Amino acid sequence: MVSLHDVAKRAGVSKSTVSRVVNDEYGVKQSTKDKVQQAIDELGYQTNLVARDLKSQRTNLVGVIVPRVASNATSQGVDGLSLAFEEAGKQVLLASTQLSYQKEIDFIKLFNQKRVEASSCMRHTSMKPWYQPSLTLKHL
């Protein structure tokens, strides 16, 4: 796996300069950006999203839980949510419960483990009115 250090060495700049270019921060000359981008392209560097998320304490993940993906209403709702979240720079995790209460709970747990920053849960109309998951997303 190609590291920031490898890109910096190839471009003849510091790791912090590569980081500023990768994160599109200000204060880097265009000629330097071009050298770094050329090194990135030559080496096939890809940003380590896990490392970035750890450093920034942000995941940019949004969870969407739906009863069934095949439903016309669900697909229209998911399209709208996805577009809005993506325009805000978020990545969408889509989960289908297949009308299962247990899967809904499991997905809420998974979203907590993945540290999603927001969520939307579309519930099926046949869900019992007394049913409320005892779990909530912790990282909102």
More confident residue, 39 or 82: 39
Judge if 101 and 66 occupy the same domain.
yes
- Whether the pTM exceeds 0.85: the reply is no
Which residue do the tokens 């009863």 mark?
Answer: 67
Count the neighbouring beta carbons within 10 Å of the beta carbon of residue 22.
Answer: 17
Q: Same domain for 38 and 88?
A: no
Q: Are 33 and 40 spatial neighbours (Cβ–Cβ below 8 Å)?
A: no
Domain assignment of residue 68, yes or no: yes
SS3 state at 95:
strand
CA gyration radius for the chain? 20
Number of structural domains, the chain? Answer: 2
Give yes or no: residues 63 and 117 share one domain: yes
Alpha carbon of residue 9 to chain centroid: 29
Looking at residue 138, its pLDDT comes to: 55
Assess whether 90 and 114 both reside in one domain.
Answer: yes
The reported pLDDT for the residue numbered 50 is: 74
CA-based nearest residue to 63, from 101, 115, 124, 106? 115
- Comparing 136 with 115, the larger pLDDT belongs to 115
* pLDDT mean over 96-125: 83
Residue 104 placed within a domain? yes
Question: How far is residue 140 from each of residues 10, 39, 109, 119, measured CA to CA in Å?
Answer: 40, 38, 14, 9
Are residue 15 and residue 68 in the same domain, yes or no? no
Percentage of the residues of the chain whose pLDDT score is greater than 90: 31
Domain carrying residue 100: 57-121
Indicate if 63 and 39 belong to the same structural domain.
Answer: no
Residue 70 sits in the same domain as residue 110: yes
Specify the CATH number for the domain of residue 98: 3.40.50.2300
Per-residue pLDDT tens for 62-89? 888 888 888 777 788 888 888 888 898 8
- pLDDT tens digits along 16-38: 999 999 988 889 999 999 999 99
More confident position, 114 or 56: 114
